[in-house]
Structure 1
Amino acid sequence: MSLVTLLPFIVLIGAMFLMTRSAKKKQQQAAQMRNDMQPGSGVRTIGGMYATVKEVNEDTVLLDAGPGVDLLFAKNAIGAVLSDDEYNRIVHGIEHDLKSDVVPDDASSLTEPDESADAAAASDEKAVDLGKKDEAEEPSEEVPAAEAKTDDEPKKTDGDSDAK
């Protein structure tokens, strides 16, 4: 057999190895996350229920879902262990003070406006005179006034000028 005929099989086996390796790594991370759970941690189950961990056993977790509501779940049913800020935001509606964490997109809000910026803004508002305006307003002496007025009106062609 030649190397060319074996190449597709080698590539297929390599791809299968890489896929199973990444899936196994994700499973190990999930198992580590479940083992790191402690009483008082906020969690989300795979079904989407939010609760607080009350007790952690070998294969099960006792969750406090509300006043007087204790639920027993398998450890594998825990989808995520949430940070305290995220759990409080979702369950209790308590927002973390995000304004202190936000960095502005530009530095304009960090500096006070100065006079040079006002002068630049004022110069931007002035119209630019290119010199053609004077020629259009004052017809030259060689062109009669009647012909100068007809140049200002749009010229129409054979029917297609109104269509856009």
Structure 2
Amino acid sequence: MPTTEFISIGEIIAMAPPSGQPGEGGLMSFLPMILIFVAFYFLLIAPQRKKQKKHEKMIQSLEKGAKIKTVGGMFGTITGVKDDCFVIRIAENVKVEISKEAISAKID
């Protein structure tokens, strides 16, 4: 008998459960997938959401005079607040506008 990588229709029918016996329940076959999703939620999604909310709260609390660190690694002091960005001083006579999303941390 030659070996092939394809399964014939007869082999597929032979693998099916007998018609008199019911197969596994529909819900029981999805139970492992549901458990994996729940584990992902509690191990990955929930902590990330908590971290994101904490970061948003920190951004909203920033005001003029606060020392910050950007995601690019620059340190500066906020000299002005606009709708969607901050004006920060990174050196003497050097001011830049930076997006609020680009702030990574407040330096105490």
Partner of 1:68: 93
Give the C-alpha shift of residue 46 in structure 1. 0.5
2:56 is matched with: 31
| CA distance in structure 2 between the partners assigned to 1:45 and 1:59 by the alignment | 15
Aligned equivalents of 1:4, 1:64: Cα separation in 2: 60
> Aligned equivalents of 2:51 and 2:37: distance in 1?
20
Aligned match of 1:46: 71
Query: CA separation in 1, counterparts of 2:81 and 2:36?
Result: 42
Structure 1 residue runs of 4 or more that deviate by more than 3 Å after TM superposition: none
- Secondary structure of the 2:63 match is coil
* RMSD (CA atoms): 1.5
Correspondence for 1:16:
40
Following superposition, the deviation at residue 2 of structure 1 comes to: 6.1
Identity, in percent, stands at: 27
* Runs of 5+ consecutive residues of structure 1 not aligned to the other structure: 84-164
Secondary structure of the structure 2 residue equivalent to 1:62: strand
Max radius of gyration: which structure?
A: 1
Q: CA deviation at 1:5?
A: 2.6
Q: Which has the higher contact order (CA 8 A, sep 6+)?
A: 2
More strand by share: 2
Aligned to 1:77: 102
Q: Which residue in 1 is equivalent to 2:30?
A: 6
Q: What letter matches 2:60 in structure 1?
A: N
Secondary structure (helix, strand or coil) at the match of 1:44 reads strand
What is the TM-score when the length of structure 2 is the normalising length?
Answer: 0.69
| Whole-angstrom distance in 2 between the partners of 1:10 and 1:31 | 31
Q: Distance in 1 between matches of 2:83 and 2:29?
A: 50
